[in-house]
Structure 1
């Protein structure tokens, strides 16, 4: 699959990006920013945010922070998960950062290992130890949520 992505014959899925970011010990936001060769700036304008759409689920992730080149160990990502969509990530995606999920609009079912969390607008969840996880939108409307990642020192 990586060869197809490199050759421009396929777009990476969320699962593939999760595996790659886990292997490199970096966040998906950092991986995408490096791929875009973004320039250093302390301000990231709304219309300059990097956006990526998962070809499998249709979910869209927008990088809110960091700005390219920042040394602040936080990533803030806005995600729109379409109605009926599911996105899975391997435990390795969660091994190098602490995660919070804050639902802004709609409902999100977050499956963490065998535990299921139903989150509504305004709810915030701190993830536990790294496990295979799945984001699910079982409703009929788009769910918007923020993911805050605190990168840990290597």
Structure 2
């Protein structure tokens, strides 16, 4: 299992970004233009030489027309599709900017339009995803398990408490924040119908 600080997760992200860019026939310059991430940063990420933030990964995901959760998977050559992934096998990653930790709960490479992610969100943390332009629209639901979070989608603001669930289309800028004094934990369900 990768711990949130394990450099192995950066190698997995590097491989996914490289593979997705190659599959789409994009040069580094083309992906930089589509994502708004500099060519040098993409090159560093693809070499596993950088620990990208969640904001950078979301921009890359939008430029590659995938969900951010897809960047944490493994390539099909490495792992056969299996409908079961044990908790100890689920990839974890910590955003170096906000400190939030995400666990990829869904089985890697399983052919499904649904991906599940578990997030531990520290008190006072804030992550602002500016990306609203995507070739394919993603649907997402956020289910709060513990604590409280604020979600801003475009000009709509939602205060979510334990047990609350918010459904949304990812077609506008999105901001997650934890205004509380304790960490929050929530599950994100992402649906990408473009590959179905």
| TM superposition score normalised by structure 2 | 0.71
1:93 to partner: Cα distance: 6.5
- Cα–Cα, structure 1 residues 54 and 130, in superposed 2: closer, same or farther, change >3 Å? same
- Report 1 or 2 for greater relative contact order, CA contacts < 8 Å, sequence distance ≥ 6: 1
The SS at the match of 1:153 is: helix
| Correspondence 1:10 to 2:87 | no
Are the equivalent residues in 1 in contact too, given 2:100–2:120 (CA < 8 A)? yes
- Cα–Cα, structure 1 residues 152 and 47, in superposed 2: closer, same or farther, change >3 Å? same
Separation in structure 1 between the aligned mates of residue 166 and residue 135 of structure 2, nearest angstrom: 14
| TM superposition score normalised by structure 1 | 0.90
1:4 to partner: Cα distance: 3.1
Of 98, 105, 113, 1:64 maps to 105
Partner of 2:194: 153
**Structure of higher CA gyration radius:** 2
Extract unaligned runs of 5+ from structure 2: 1-40
Of 126, 132, 156, 1:86 maps to 126
Partner of 2:176: 135
The answer to which of 26-35 and 124-133 deviates more is: 26-35
- Cα–Cα, structure 1 residues 109 and 91, in superposed 2: closer, same or farther, change >3 Å? same
